[in-house]
C-alpha cells in the first residue's frame, strides 16, 4: 500500500515537471525573436557657387575729359581741361571705357550670358542718305580686341558682346576681363554733322533736312551666371 502511494506521488511530480517544461518552451516560442539592427547616417554640403561679376559702368562716361595725347581726350574724375560739363557728356574728341571681370568656379553646370542693348543713341538717321553715328566701339577680352569688334558700330559691338555667352562645365572656372571702349573721333570731315548733334543736345527743336537727330546715348548691359539643368 505504501509502495503504491509512492508511485502515484512520483507520477504526479513527473507530470508537474513536464508541464513546467512545456510552459517554459511555449514562452520561449512566443517572446523570443531574431533582431538585426543597422544604423547609418549621411552628410552633404551645398554645391559650391563661387562666381563673381564686377563691372564699373560708372566709368564709361564722364563729365570731365582731359587731352592726354593725340586727338582724343580721355575721361577723368575731375580737372578735365578738354571738356567739362555738369553731367555725363560725350563730345567730338572724347573717349571712355569700362571694365568687366568675371571670376569663379562652381560644382554645378553654369550658363554665362551677356545681354547688351542701346535704348537711345547719338547720331543722325537720314531718310535717303547714309546714317551718321560718330561713336565707335571696341570690345577687348583679356587685353586683346575681339574679332569683328574693333572700332565698330554699336550693332557690331552688341553682336560681339552677346556672343561671349557660353556654358561652363561642372568644375569649370572663369577668369576673364572684358573692356568696352568708345571714341568720338575728330575726323575733320563731319564737323557740320557733329555741330548739329551738339546744337540738338542744347535745343531739341534743331532739325536737319531729310533726317532725324539724336543726342542722348543710353546703353544697358546685363551679365548673368546661373545654374542650369541638362
Tens digit of pLDDT for each residue in 143-184?
Answer: 999 999 999 999 999 999 999 999 989 988 889 999 999 999
Nearest to 222 by CA among 183, 167, 176, 165: 165
CB 179 within 8 A of CB 57: no
Please, is 200 exposed, middle or buried when counting C-beta atoms within 10 Å of its C-beta (0-12, 13-18, 19+)?
buried
Tens digit of pLDDT for each residue in 33-51?
Answer: 667 666 756 677 787 788 8
CA distances for 41 relative to 36, 38, 44, 47, 119, angstroms: 17, 11, 10, 19, 56
Tens digit of pLDDT for each residue in 50-77?
Answer: 889 998 877 788 877 776 666 666 665 4
Nearest to 223 by CA among 102, 113, 141, 139: 113
Q: Rounded distance, CA 202 to CA 205, Å?
A: 9
Tens digit of pLDDT for each residue in 72-121?
Answer: 666 654 444 456 676 788 888 888 899 999 999 889 999 999 999 998 99
Amino acid at each position: 500500500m505504501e509502495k503504491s502511494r509512492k508511485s502515484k506521488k512520483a507520477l504526479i511530480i513527473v507530470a508537474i515537471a513536464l508541464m513546467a517544461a512545456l510552459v517554459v518552451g511555449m514562452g520561449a516560442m512566443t517572446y523570443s525573436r531574431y533582431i538585426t539592427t543597422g544604423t547609418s547616417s549621411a552628410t552633404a554640403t551645398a554645391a559650391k557657387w563661387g562666381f563673381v561679376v564686377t563691372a564699373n559702368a560708372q566709368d564709361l562716361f564722364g563729365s570731365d575729359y582731359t587731352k592726354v595725347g593725340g586727338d582724343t581726350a580721355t575721361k577723368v574724375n575731375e580737372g578735365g581741361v578738354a571738356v567739362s560739363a555738369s553731367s555725363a557728356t560725350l563730345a567730338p574728341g572724347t573717349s571712355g571705357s569700362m571694365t568687366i571681370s568675371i571670376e569663379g568656379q562652381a560644382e554645378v553646370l553654369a550658363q554665362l550670358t551677356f545681354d547688351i542693348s542701346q535704348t537711345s543713341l547719338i547720331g543722325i538717321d537720314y531718310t535717303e542718305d547714309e546714317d551718321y553715328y560718330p561713336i565707335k566701339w571696341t570690345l577687348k577680352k583679356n587685353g586683346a580686341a575681339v574679332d569683328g569688334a574693333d572700332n565698330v558700330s554699336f550693332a557690331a559691338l552688341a553682336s560681339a558682346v552677346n556672343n561671349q555667352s557660353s556654358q561652363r562645365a561642372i568644375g569649370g572656372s572663369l577668369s576673364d576681363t572684358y573692356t568696352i571702349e568708345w571714341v568720338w573721333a575728330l575726323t575733320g570731315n563731319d564737323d557740320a554733322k557733329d555741330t548739329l548733334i551738339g546744337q540738338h543736345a542744347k535745343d531739341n527743336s534743331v532739325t536737319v533736312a531729310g533726317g532725324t537727330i539724336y543726342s542722348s546715348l543710353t546703353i544697358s548691359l546685363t551679365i548673368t551666371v546661373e545654374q542650369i539643368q541638362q
